[in-house]
Amino acid sequence: MEKRFDCDEVIQEFEGLTKDAKRVQTETLKTILKENCEAEYLKKWGLHGRTDPETYSSRVPLVTHKDLEPYIQKIADGAPYPVLTGNPITTITLSSGTTQGKPKFVPFNEKLTETTMQIYRTSFAFRNRAFPIKNGKSLSFIYGSKQFKTKGGLTAATATTNVYSSEQYKKTMKAMQTPSCSPDAVVFGTDFHQSLYCHLLCGLIFHEEIQVIFSTFAHSIVHSFRTFELVWEELCNDLRTGVLSTRITVPSVRTAMSKILKPNPELADKIHKKCSGLTEWYGLIPEIFPNTKYIYGIMTGSMEPYLKKLRHYAGGIQLQSADYGSSEGWIGVNINPTLPPEMATFTVLPNIGYFEFLPLSQGQTDFDSDSDSNSNFTSVEPKSVGLTDVKVGEEYEVVVTNFAGLYRYRLEDVVKVTGFHNSTPELKFVCRRNLMLTINIDKNTEKDLQSSVEAAAKLLTAEKLEVVDFTSHVDLLSEPGHYVIFWEVSGEASDELLKECCNRLDLSFVDAGYVSSRKTKAIGALELRVLSKGAFRKILDHYIEQGTVLNQFKTPRCVGAINHGVLQILCDNVVKSYMSTAFD
């Protein structure tokens, strides 16, 4: 029998853990180190059975993925002895690898699925208290990536694939009364475009039962409804005739869909009428899915630029920003579901890993000038602080020790402590640490870029246009080097307006190093390159070909020369370019 989901019980457990965060952290570290004491990697650092935080952080070094790569490779190649964990790793996660342009290998085990479920349950308990749902379905834009076997016979797939294919996930979703409206064959179909089309079709078939619209990241929700705008008439036709479009060719997907798609001209007419009555697709979601309680997915960090479009589709429906985690494991839950995504914070769960924080104000943890570098940190090891010792208002880089063989692993994410819930901190996501626009003394983060684009994009509203997506590049081939910003715009903007946007972009980077370098011409004029329609879809396809899964996709916000595949797509799709005259 399925255990009923008890929100109060889950919240009580959470309160208990967070009240005692320091002790829970010490216990968690002890469990991790004991379970894995036979691992080659841990033995190397001579802990000799000691599990206290002080010995641990003084003997085991801080690492990045690059440092652990040889160990992970050994595991992938089938090393017959414990390398990073006591129990053998049988599955590898492919992280999205947004910056480098190709996925990274990360060890995965059942413990990570368990912690994922704990995170899902906890945030759901808080969400459901504020917005209760009953016996509904979720239109979940989720996908399984291609799985393959490594040389040593381990299964490798993206983190979400590993989670979505687990029995635990299905049980949890059922207990939370939000099973996906699409059959498994659609989720795990081999072609993302076809799966997306079928997700939309399933959504329409079950439109009155849909209570939640979900994807891991907001980009994927926006991408799905942009696609809906293109295929809605074809979807209506399928509903009318009960015959699936010929664009669906994967046999397992056709078979699964044939079981739920029946001719329904009334439904087709209803959807057709609703779509035709919308203005610029505003309020599409409540119009088609009238019982939707909220839209759920990660909407913070690099997802913020999609909020405007998401709100457009959402009409007045509540947007709820999901939790904070990575392929390397989860970090915190959003327990304030009534706050808008811009204000979302993440409360760290102290039993899902051991967490340390590197203060950014320490100077020695400063950024390096090479945004392509993976280990762009100085040789002096910065001093970390423990979970309960962080200071409100300070910014830190997150360091994770998890149950799947990562020890003192720098996540390369910057967070700000906004407060405490009981004795565990609440974090605001700030930005990726190594995504930087920098030429000499200038330092612009992903967030700075985002703000500049937002300021300049406002000008486009004069011509009823918007930025579909954007990225950037530092051009060092020109003398002096300069920033290049790539935009895909929703329609044809006038030259005059785009010139103005280009100047506004340049002026909106307010970092003192940038402004003074621009004034002295140590940095050249900013360049705005406008891309042809669909350029970012090509970039998405490129990442998917490399093994990324659609629901985990994040547009790279700064494309370095190392990421030549993406740079090539960008350069091949430029239709117009403008040089800033803001500092002439």
Q: In 3D, which of 98, 101, 79 has the Cα closest to residue 90?
A: 79
Give the nearer residue to ligand AMP in terms of CB position, either 417 or 525. Answer: 417
> Should residue 563 be labelled a site residue for ligand AMP when binding is judged by CB under 6 A?
no
- Per rule CB under 6 A, is residue 115 in the interface with ligand AMP? no
Of 300 and 438, the one with the shorter C-beta distance to ligand AMP is: 300
Binding mask 368-407 for ligand AMP (x = CB under 6 A): ----------------------------------------
The minimum distance between CB 297 and ligand AMP, in angstroms, equals 9
Spatial contact of 405 and 85, defined as CB atoms under 8 Å apart: yes
Which span sits near ligand AMP by CB under 6 A: 74-82, 306-314, 323-331, 375-383?
A: 323-331
Q: How far is the CB of 296 from ligand AMP (least distance, A)?
A: 12
Which of 82, 301 has the CB closer to ligand AMP? 301
Looking at 324, 403, 543, 578, which residue binds ligand AMP (CB under 6 A)?
324
Q: Which is nearer to ligand AMP, 127 or 432 (CB)?
A: 432
Q: How many residues does the chain have?
A: 584
Work out which of 156, 185, 205, 298 binds ligand AMP, going by CB under 6 A.
Answer: 298
Burial of residue 266 (number of CB atoms within 10 Å: 0-12, 13-18, 19+): exposed
* 301 touches ligand AMP by CB under 6 A: yes
- In the list 183, 325, 341, 425, the residue contacting ligand AMP (rule: CB under 6 A) is 325
Helix axes 192-205, 218-241, angle to 10 degrees: 70
| Residue at shortest CB range from ligand AMP | 301
Question: If binding is defined by CB under 6 A, does position 356 make contact with ligand AMP?
Answer: no
Of the candidate spans 131-139, 234-242, 273-281, 322-330, the one that interacts with ligand AMP by CB under 6 A turns out to be: 322-330
CB 162 within 8 A of CB 116: no
Distance CA 88, CA 31 (A): 17
DSSP states of 485-552 as a string?
EEEEESS---HHHHHHHHHHHHHH---HHHHHHHHTTSS---EEEEEPTTHHHHHHHHHHHTT--GGG
| Tokens encoding 456 | 């300049």
Task: State the amino acid at position 329 in one-letter form.
Answer: G
Site membership for ligand AMP, residue 555 (CB under 6 A): no
Report the C-alpha gap between 397 and 393 in whole angstroms: 13
| 10 near ligand AMP, judged by CB under 6 A | no
- Please select the residue that binds ligand AMP; options are 28, 178, 552, 580, rule is CB under 6 A: 552
The correct pick among 238, 397, 413, 506 for binding ligand AMP (CB under 6 A) is 413
Cβ at position 96, least distance to ligand AMP in Å:
4
- Cis bond upstream, residue 480 (ω within 30): yes
Minimum CB distance to ligand AMP, residue 479 (Å): 34
Sheet strands (E) in 395-481: 395-401, 409-421, 424-432, 436-437, 444-445, 467-475
Residue 28 is a binding residue for ligand AMP (CB under 6 A)? no
φ, ψ dihedrals at 217, nearest 5°: -120, 145
| Largest separation between any pair of C-alpha atoms in the chain | 73
Q: Does residue 434 belong to the site contacting ligand AMP (CB under 6 A)?
A: no
Q: Which stretch binds ligand AMP (CB under 6 A): 22-30, 222-230, 296-304, 417-425?
A: 296-304
Asked if residue 337 binds ligand AMP (CB under 6 A), the reply is no
| Segment 123 to 162, residues that bind ligand AMP, using CB under 6 A | 159
Question: 């390397």: which residue's tokens?
Answer: 328
Pick one of 65, 416, 421, 432: the residue that binds ligand AMP (CB under 6 A): 432
Q: Find the part of the chain contacting ligand AMP (CB under 6 A) among 6-14, 318-326, 484-492, 494-502.
A: 318-326
Q: Which helix (H) or strand (E) holds 480?
A: none
Q: Is 319 in the site for ligand AMP (CB under 6 A)?
A: no
Token readout for 405 is: 């063989």
Q: What is the x/- site pattern for ligand AMP, positions 481-520, by CB under 6 A?
A: ----------------------------------------
How many Cα atoms are found within 13 Å in the side-chain-facing hemisphere of 120? Answer: 23
Q: Distance from first CA to last CA of the chain, Å, rounded?
A: 73
Alpha carbon separation from 40 to 60, 71, 154 (Å, rounded): 13, 9, 19
Residue 543 in contact with ligand AMP, rule: CB under 6 A: no
Nearer to ligand AMP, 183 or 425 (CB): 425
For residue 95, state whether it binds ligand AMP (rule: CB under 6 A): yes
In the complex, what is the shortest distance from the CB of residue 551 to ligand AMP, in angstroms, rounded to a whole number? 9
- CA dist 217 and 115 (Å) reads 19
Tell me the C-alpha distance between 431 and 447, whole Å.
Answer: 6
Compute, in degrees rounded to 10, the torsion defined by CA atoms 103, 109, 115, 116. Answer: 40
Any contact of residue 326 with ligand AMP (CB under 6 A)?
A: yes
- Give the number of residues in contact with ligand AMP, rule: CB under 6 A: 15
Taking each helix axis from N to C end, the angle separating 218-241 and 265-276, rounded to the nearest 10 degrees, works out to 130
What distance in Å separates the CA atoms of residue 334 and residue 46, rounded to the nearest whole number?
38
Number of H helices, E strands in the chain: 20, 22
Q: Is 300 in the site for ligand AMP (CB under 6 A)?
A: yes
Residue 429 is a binding residue for ligand AMP (CB under 6 A): yes
List of residues contacting ligand AMP (CB under 6 A): 95-96, 159, 298, 300-301, 324-327, 411, 413, 429, 432, 552
